[in-house]
Amino acid sequence: MEQKLVTEQILKYARALDDAIEQRDIEGVVSCFSDGCEIELPGVKLTGKEGLRKAIGWMYGYFKDIVLVPVTVMVDGNTFFEEFVMKAKVKGNREIEVKQAEVLVYDNEYRVRSLRLYFDGLELAEAFASGIMERIVVRPLRKASLQGLA
């Protein structure tokens, strides 16, 4: 039976996770997760701490000087919701900002057992587009994906 988790504790552990990510402390990040954790990114599902290490390696392979800026934070029971802006540097020390959202589900020991990360792949692709040819390809795709909404 699950115990009722304390909102203030969840907020504290979520902040510790963000701090470890910003400090590029891989073991600190891993220590925030349960052994059988599940990580879900757009189009990819990874399990366990080895899957987590793979996700962290991917992130650190593309982004440096990461700063996570919270926009909206909510806690409901053992679930933490956050909308945030990731500011980072990419290839060529170019600075980018990408809006993201995450849902973390905590176990009774305040370890993340499930992470779902949401971001717009086209927004990320546009942020990565460094040359004129890349921008010529990506911008129209992003614009077309929103056609009819506004």
How far apart CA 23 and CA 28 sit, in angstroms, is: 9
Q: How confident is the model at residue 146 (pLDDT cuts 50, 70, 90)?
A: low
CB-count burial class (<10 Å; 0-12, 13-18, 19+) for 61: exposed
DSSP E strand boundaries for the chain = 33-41, 44-47, 64-76, 79-90, 94-106, 112-119
Structure confidence at residue 3 (pLDDT):
55
pTM: 0.83
| pLDDT of 142 over the 80 cut | no
Instruction: Choose between 22 and 142: higher pLDDT.
Output: 22
**What pLDDT is recorded for position 1?**
39
Average pLDDT rounded to a whole number, residues 40-68: 93
Instruction: Give the model confidence (pLDDT) of 78-124 as tens digits.
Output: 999 999 999 999 877 888 888 999 999 999 999 999 999 998 776 77
Greater pLDDT, 2 or 133: 133
The CA R_g of the chain, rounded to the nearest whole Å, is: 17
Domains and CATH numbers, the chain: 7-119 (3.10.450.50), 121-150 (no CATH)
Q: In this model, does residue 147 exceed pLDDT 70?
A: no
Q: What is the dihedral of CA 48, 50, 52, 57, to 10 degrees?
A: -170
Report the residue count for the chain.
Answer: 150
Rounded distance between C-alpha atoms, residue 82 and residue 117, angstroms: 10
